[in-house]
Chain A
Amino acid sequence: MHRDLPLWLLLSCLLAAFAAGCGEVWNDPYPGERADAPVLYSAFVNRPKHLDPVQSYSENEATFTYQIYEPPLQFHYLKRPYELEPGAAAEMPTLRLLDASGQTLPPDAPPDSIAASEYTIRIREGMRYQPHPAFVDDLEMPDDPRTIADFARSGSREVTAEDFVYQIKRLAHPRLHSPILELIAGYLPGLRDLHRRLREVQVPAGGWLDLREHPLDGVDVVDRYTYRIRLTGTYPQFIYWLAMPFFAPVPWEAERFYAREGMAERNFTLDWWPVGSGPYMLVDNDPNSRMTLAANPNYRQDTYPCEGEVGDREAGLLDDCGRRLPLIERVVFARERESIPYWNKFLQGYYDASGISSDNFDQAVQTVGDGDVRITDEMQAKGIELVTSVAPTVMYMGFNMLDPVVGGDSESARRLRLAISIAIDQEEFISIFRNGRGVAAMHPLPPGLFGYRSGEAGINPYVYDWTNGRPVRKPVAEARRLLAEAGYPEGRDAATGAPLVIYLDTTGTGLGGKAEVDWLTKQFRKIDVQLVVRATDYNRFQDKIRSGNAQIFYWGWNADYPDPENFFFLLHGAQGKVASQGENAANYRNAEYDQLFERMKAMPDGPERQRIIDRMIAILQHDAPWNWGFYEVVYSLQHAWIQNRKPGKIARNTLKYQNIDGALRARRRAEWNRPVTWPLALGAALMVALVVPAWRQYRRRERATALATEAG
């Protein structure tokens, strides 16, 4: 047996070394970081494309840009419905309405009489930018820098009104391709002129386009802390844009810095290394692995709100009232491309919050009673909490109104669309494919926005009946009746006898997509209509929508801001996809609706606006250009140690309000992640059990004589 001793010794030494190399917890993905530190750990799936505030427009980019840049306004973190409040601005902007002769109009002046709207914005004094080498004049380029921290020195300066104006000019920068240039230029014509002028400017190699030298008509710096924007006509929704990083201050020094030779080649661009005045700054940017935000030491004096909506105090959301923001020192975003490791790391306590994928839904959530959901016992035992909210998002099936079968304003086509809308059981779809995470839509406007009506007054009377205090989808017989009235009794053309075939264009050809398509085919079969699915790649699908060659299709919209205009414009005639490449993918056009839309969008919230919205909804429900689909309900899980997390997708600068009980997290992590070491011992024993007999067998063979082998 003594011959096996060295092997045992070696294995034991290896195990001991392995165990000694690890701490109490062996599976910590953040080596060298203290679990009790005020750091939030989160994850991202897709790397952000743009972090430049004039370009960035995606949700996954907003996670970063809204923390780094601070626009003039922000949404109150706790109040619902959402309420704007000053961010970088010292107070809410003052609005002066002017007529064609330049005379001031009263605030309630009719929209037709308003020639211009003048917003005067006064910013807070003493705000400073994050520390950054861009503010150092005589900076030398270090050898092969990889992050901004590799530059030896950094500086800062005060944020001035000119920086806000500079950023507005950047919207017109010909190389930056701001997605909102055309929209804003519609109200700020000087922006389009500037864009045209800047395109003619020749920038020398290694030089930069100093926008300070190029005036912008309609935007003026009044004094060091005040600037003014003059819009053509009236655009009340403009104030929401002032709460987005498109209008946050950007220092000209940053553009000069990143234009230096060798910067772009090393991926040092403003699109990659933002320079802002918000609560956080980007200190680590490896979008393949990890991005880290650290608290901006120069962030202005900002405090946690002391008032919210009913129930916030009981929920502990006011406990940090008056505390200096941000509350968390660092936020680490690790890249997780796959949902399985993401979920398991959340369960181990290495991510502080998580969404719920379909794969993990049953493990996390259970349905009780009449569709109510609650967290499973397993999650509850870990102290995990479930947070739900209806997102300002609508997912719908569009009917192409230019299509000769389902489109147009004929009574026949309208009845056909209504028949399809009734036949497609949206509630079943939500239950099967969304795990109940949706609310069947009655019209384009999601709950939580002004104009939305709940209860009986809010149902779509063409598709639902109000029975026993809740909406009940009309029976299939009603859909069949409408279909017959549309000229397709039993799903056949009354004139020719040919079966009615409807074509769905979709990109969903994957595993889940196939199941959804099969389900949809079954829905159409309920009214004897044949559904043909034309699966295509994303590019061809987009082409078909742009050229109006699709018949029915799925589409969706995520709100830019919490105003009904941002949903009703999706059906505004002037936004027709085919006619003007707008956002009206169904190419719907109704003169009365368009007229009401123009009035509604220029009005403040109030009874009159509600009345107009009610009428617009009634028109839409009658015409049925969409099968209204559903509003997304977001489920999110969070550990007990994360505090002040209020659901909602409109306010995106939320990280500064969140807090962490680091001590609790450290305890839980240690408790949940004790390594199970017996498999190592077992593995070693198994190895020995295999190797030793094999070795003996080998020795025996080696020593055996030919005669012995024969005998054996």
Chain B
Amino acid sequence: MWAYLVRRILYAIPILIGVNLLTFLLFFVVNTPDDIARMQLGVKRVTPEAIDNWKRERGYHLPRFYNGDESGARQLTETIFFQKSARMFAFDFGASDDGRDIAREIGQRMGPSLAIAVPTFVLGLLVAICFSLLLVFFRASRLDVAGVVLCVAMMSISSLFYIIFGQWLVAKVWQLVPISGYVGGIDSWPFLVLPVLIGVFAGLGASARWYRTLFLEEIGRDYVRTARAKGVSERVVLFRHVLKNAMIPILTGVVVVIPLLFMGSLLIESFFGIPGLGSYTIEAIQAQDFAVVRSMVFIGSLLYIVGLVLTDISYTVVDPRVRLE
């Protein structure tokens, strides 16, 4: 397994370089260094000299990929791409274009994002699995049909609707929780209840239908029939046998997103005023802050790779037949 992990880590390096290159290309197709400078300096009374100075200070005056004025390796290193990318691979994200330390900003925003994302993820998973097992238990009954119709209806509605409706009903009409806002520590729970519930509810339809399909596939297998024939209760059949054997496809979809929980949720965080990472990348794109965009894309792709590796490892845990070689 260790050889496999080392190989996957080595594979990650060219992937990260490729993602970084693609981000760089896409960003600079839309924004020139002059645009970035103007965005940071403001729109009123900005002089060409101020733009030149700003670019020089932050290294945006260099050529993008190839510096013909230099010689040797410096032709490649004295470029925006190299200067902005090299330090990132040492996890030195530097400062955003408006001068704020990116690592610190990420550190500050990660907590609130996780405060929403982790309970939403755990609760959502539990509720979806229990609900789908319930449907499977009552399969082919009216309850099952009603459940499936409900799931289809729920997954057809935009999550934005759940947010706006939830805020209107629970926070405005019933006035049970604050509409938006956030404070750190133990006092944060009134601010988290509604976004977590909405997050769980918004994702329930699609997840429950997916899990129901997986469980139905398993429940018709021979080992289930054997277990029943041995007198095993339906609860044990579902939770011990069916759930365990359906874990591989569940893990494929679930484990990979665990590391990405750090990245937060744009909509939920925006509407509920949660100061998380969800909006950090979007705000950076709007502000044409390349330093933040490249850092967040880098972290996102790294976490995704980590998620994939964790998924592979989790297979070996739930299915002893799987070997990572």
Q: Which of A175-192 contact B (CB under 8 A)?
A: 175, 177, 179-183
Per the CB 8 Å criterion, the residue count for chain B at the interface is 62
Q: Which residues of A contact B167 (CB under 8 A)?
A: 340-341, 344
Task: Given A267-B100, A288-B109, verify A181-B50 contact (CB < 8 Å).
Answer: yes
Could you tell me if B53 and A675 are in contact, using CB atoms closer than 8 angstroms?
no
Q: Chain A: residues with CB nearer than 8 A to chain B?
A: 22, 25-32, 47, 49-50, 57-58, 174-175, 177, 179-183, 264-267, 269, 271-272, 286, 288-289, 334-338, 340-341, 344-345, 347-348, 350, 537, 539, 542, 581, 583, 673-677, 679-680, 694, 697-698, 701-702
Q: Which residues of A contact B35 (CB under 8 A)?
A: 539, 542
A266 to B100 Cα, complex, angstroms: 8
Pairs across A and B, CB under 8 Å, 14 listed:
A28-B178, A49-B40, A179-B41, A182-B49, A183-B45, A267-B104, A288-B275, A289-B112, A334-B273, A336-B180, A337-B270, A338-B271, A679-B176, A698-B137
Q: Which residues of B contact A345 (CB under 8 A)?
A: 179-180
Which of the listed residues B137, B273, B279 has the most CB atoms from chain A within 10 Å of its own CB? B273
Which of the listed residues A288, A335, A337 has the most CB atoms from chain B within 10 Å of its own CB? A288
Could you tell me if A57 and B42 are in contact, using CB atoms closer than 8 angstroms?
yes
Could you tell me if A348 and B179 are in contact, using CB atoms closer than 8 angstroms?
yes
Task: Given A265-B101, A288-B108, verify A26-B179 contact (CB < 8 Å).
Answer: no
Which of A334, A542, A698 sits near B234, CB closer than 8 Å? A698
Could you tell me if B190 and A31 are in contact, using CB atoms closer than 8 angstroms?
yes
Q: Which residues of A contact B272 (CB under 8 A)?
A: 341
Closest to B277 in A: A288
Q: Which residues of B contact A334 (CB under 8 A)?
A: 181, 273
Given contacts A266-B104, A341-B167, A348-B179, list 8 more A-B pairs with CB under 8 A. A26-B176, A26-B177, A26-B190, A27-B179, A57-B42, A180-B45, A288-B109, A340-B167
A390 to B167 Cα, complex, angstroms: 34
Could you tell me if A177 and B175 are in contact, using CB atoms closer than 8 angstroms?
no
Asked whether B230 is an interface residue with its Cβ less than 8 Å from the other chain, the reply is: no
A177 to B42 Cα, complex, angstroms: 10
Q: Which residues of B contact A702 (CB under 8 A)?
A: 233-235
Could you tell me if A537 and B30 are in contact, using CB atoms closer than 8 angstroms?
yes
Closest to A174 in B: B53
A288 to B181 Cα, complex, angstroms: 11
Closest to A345 in B: B179
Which of the listed residues A180, A338, A341 has the most CB atoms from chain B within 10 Å of its own CB? A341
- List 3 tightest A-B contacts by C-beta distance, closest first: A288-B275, A29-B181, A289-B275
Asked whether B18 is an interface residue with its Cβ less than 8 Å from the other chain, the reply is: no
Asked whether B19 is an interface residue with its Cβ less than 8 Å from the other chain, the reply is: no
A10 to B168 Cα, complex, angstroms: 28
Could you tell me if A267 and B101 are in contact, using CB atoms closer than 8 angstroms?
yes
Could you tell me if B101 and A264 are in contact, using CB atoms closer than 8 angstroms?
yes
Could you tell me if A27 and B99 are in contact, using CB atoms closer than 8 angstroms?
no
Asked whether B173 is an interface residue with its Cβ less than 8 Å from the other chain, the reply is: yes
Could you tell me if A31 and B174 are in contact, using CB atoms closer than 8 angstroms?
no
Q: Which residues of A contact B176 (CB under 8 A)?
A: 26-27, 675-677, 679-680
Which of B31, B95, B98, B273 sits near A335, CB closer than 8 Å? B273
B 177-193 binary contact with A (CB < 8 Å = 1; else 0): 11111110001001100
A175 to B56 Cα, complex, angstroms: 10
Could you tell me if A177 and B54 are in contact, using CB atoms closer than 8 angstroms?
yes
A702 to B32 Cα, complex, angstroms: 69
Could you tell me if B42 and A337 are in contact, using CB atoms closer than 8 angstroms?
no
Closest to B180 in A: A341
A57 to chain B, nearest CB (A): 5
Task: Given A338-B271, A344-B167, A702-B233, verify A182-B190 contact (CB < 8 Å).
Answer: no
B225 to chain A, nearest CB (A): 13
Q: Which residues of B contact A341 (CB under 8 A)?
A: 167, 179-180, 271-273
Which of the listed residues B35, B45, B183, B279 has the most CB atoms from chain A within 10 Å of its own CB? B45
Q: Which residues of A contact B180 (CB under 8 A)?
A: 29, 336, 338, 341, 345
B 47-73 binary contact with A (CB < 8 Å = 1; else 0): 111100110010000000000000000
Closest to A22 in B: B190
Could you tell me if A676 and B138 are in contact, using CB atoms closer than 8 angstroms?
no
Which of B54, B270, B283 sits near A338, CB closer than 8 Å? B270
A629 to B95 Cα, complex, angstroms: 41
Q: Which residues of A contact B42 (CB under 8 A)?
A: 49, 57-58, 179
A391 to chain B, nearest CB (A): 16
A267 to B99 Cα, complex, angstroms: 8
A340 to B191 Cα, complex, angstroms: 16
A337 to B41 Cα, complex, angstroms: 23
Could you tell me if B45 and A676 are in contact, using CB atoms closer than 8 angstroms?
no
A271 to B98 Cα, complex, angstroms: 10
B46 to chain A, nearest CB (A): 6
Task: Given A177-B41, A177-B54, A702-B233, verify A26-B273 contact (CB < 8 Å).
Answer: no
Asked whether B134 is an interface residue with its Cβ less than 8 Å from the other chain, the reply is: yes
Asked whether B248 is an interface residue with its Cβ less than 8 Å from the other chain, the reply is: no
Closest to A335 in B: B273
Could you tell me if B38 and A336 are in contact, using CB atoms closer than 8 angstroms?
no
Closest to B40 in A: A49
A58 to B41 Cα, complex, angstroms: 10
Q: Which residues of A contact B54 (CB under 8 A)?
A: 177
A345 to B108 Cα, complex, angstroms: 25
Which of the listed residues A49, A58, A271, A679 has the most CB atoms from chain B within 10 Å of its own CB? A49
Closest to B179 in A: A341
B172 to chain A, nearest CB (A): 5
Could you tell me if A26 and B175 are in contact, using CB atoms closer than 8 angstroms?
yes
Task: Given A57-B42, A267-B104, A336-B273, verify A32-B187 contact (CB < 8 Å).
Answer: yes
A348 to B99 Cα, complex, angstroms: 37
A542 to B138 Cα, complex, angstroms: 62
Q: Which of B85-108 contact A (CB under 8 A)?
A: 95, 98-101, 104-105, 108
Closest to B189 in A: A21
Could you tell me if A31 and B177 are in contact, using CB atoms closer than 8 angstroms?
no
Could you tell me if B45 and A179 are in contact, using CB atoms closer than 8 angstroms?
yes
Could you tell me if A175 and B57 are in contact, using CB atoms closer than 8 angstroms?
yes
Which of the listed residues A32, A698, A702 has the most CB atoms from chain B within 10 Å of its own CB? A698
A700 to B54 Cα, complex, angstroms: 76
Q: Which residues of A contact B112 (CB under 8 A)?
A: 289
Could you tell me if B173 and A697 are in contact, using CB atoms closer than 8 angstroms?
no
Asked whether B9 is an interface residue with its Cβ less than 8 Å from the other chain, the reply is: no
Asked whether B171 is an interface residue with its Cβ less than 8 Å from the other chain, the reply is: yes
Could you tell me if B270 and A182 are in contact, using CB atoms closer than 8 angstroms?
no
B35 to chain A, nearest CB (A): 4
Could you tell me if B183 and A177 are in contact, using CB atoms closer than 8 angstroms?
no
B31 to chain A, nearest CB (A): 6
Q: Which residues of B contact A27 (CB under 8 A)?
A: 171, 175-179, 190
A395 to chain B, nearest CB (A): 15
Which of the listed residues B105, B143, B190 has the most CB atoms from chain A within 10 Å of its own CB? B190
